Amino acid sequence: MIKFFRKIRYDLMEKNKTGKYLKYAIGEIILVVIGILIALSINNWNENRNEIIRLNRVLDIVKADFVKDTLNMRNKIKFYEEKSSQILDVLKNRISPPLDSITELNYKKHMSLTRLATVYSFFRKQNKGIELLKNTTNNVGYEKDSLITNLIARHSNFKGYFDGDNEVMEKLNFQNSEYFAKYSWYTDWLLSEYNRDMFQYFYDDEFKRKAGNFRIHSKQFLNDLEDYDKFAKTYITLIEKRLNE
């Protein structure tokens, strides 16, 4: 092809057809420019396609993280639902028999009630996918992609919620455990052994105040878990829709 154009140029120059040569030269330049533009367009298309492929791979990891989180949260939500219900039963004196009437024969059935103001369940979200997503979209124009921007923003908010929840529950667990250490029944409490004085304490108002305070923060933890569960399930659906487009 190059030899063909070169021959045309030589023929025009030899025949002293300057005007036609200039027109031909301009046409050749235009063809070259068009070729370059087409090549750039193809290159941009390939880059965009590769970017979409990379983004979809990351979204698939985010979706897998959400699936893991929802499975993990099942036990967490159940734990805090049961704890909240048990504390409420204690506060309303709905335990039968009453805690101050527990004997050595039936204490094992009610031993979990003595842990209402201490034991909690830690939760941490999967973060691998969301961090990859942040890095992938950091230098690319995804500001107008509502799926990406809302996903990153809301996920970051939940991180703050759960960091706070875990910190508060850990602090209350430590404080209440330390407080119990001053009582003579503390060793029996640690070993889950029967002690009449211990069950008398857990029937009294002082324990109910501690348990009630623990329930307030447990309920907040439960609310955050339930909200995140809905959020994760919603974005599993949205990501699947995006990947299938």
pLDDT digits (tens, 9 = 90+) for 41-89: 555 555 566 677 888 899 999 999 999 999 999 999 999 999 999 999 9
> What is the distance between the alpha carbons of residues 72 and 69, in angstroms, rounded to a whole number?
5
Q: How many CB atoms lie within 10 A of CB 215?
A: 22
- Give the distance from CA 175 to its chain's centroid: 29
Is pTM beyond 0.75? Reply is: yes
171 burial type by CB count under 10 A (0-12 exposed, 13-18 middle, 19+ buried): exposed
> What is the distance between the alpha carbons of residues 96 and 36, in angstroms, rounded to a whole number?
85
> What is the distance between the alpha carbons of residues 155 and 40, in angstroms, rounded to a whole number?
37
Q: Which token pair is 142?
A: 């995804």
pLDDT of 39 > 80? The answer is no
Sign of CA dihedral 215, 220, 225, 229: positive
The packing angle between helices 2-14 and 18-91, to 10°, is 150
pLDDT of 172 > 50? The answer is yes
Q: Which token pair is 100?
A: 């101050």
DSSP string computed for 106-138: THHHHGGGGGTTT---------HHHHHHHHHHT
> What is the distance between the alpha carbons of residues 158 and 79, in angstroms, rounded to a whole number?
19
* Cβ 32 vs Cβ 40: under 8 Å: no
> What is the distance between the alpha carbons of residues 172 and 201, in angstroms, rounded to a whole number?
18
* Cβ 59 vs Cβ 222: under 8 Å: no
Could you tell me the pLDDT band of residue 99, with boundaries at 50, 70 and 90?
Answer: confident
- Amino acid letter, residue 241: K
Q: How many CB atoms lie within 10 A of CB 120?
A: 22
Lowest mean pLDDT among 33-37, 140-144, 169-173: 33-37
pLDDT of 136 > 60? The answer is yes
Residues 164-182 have a mean pLDDT of 96
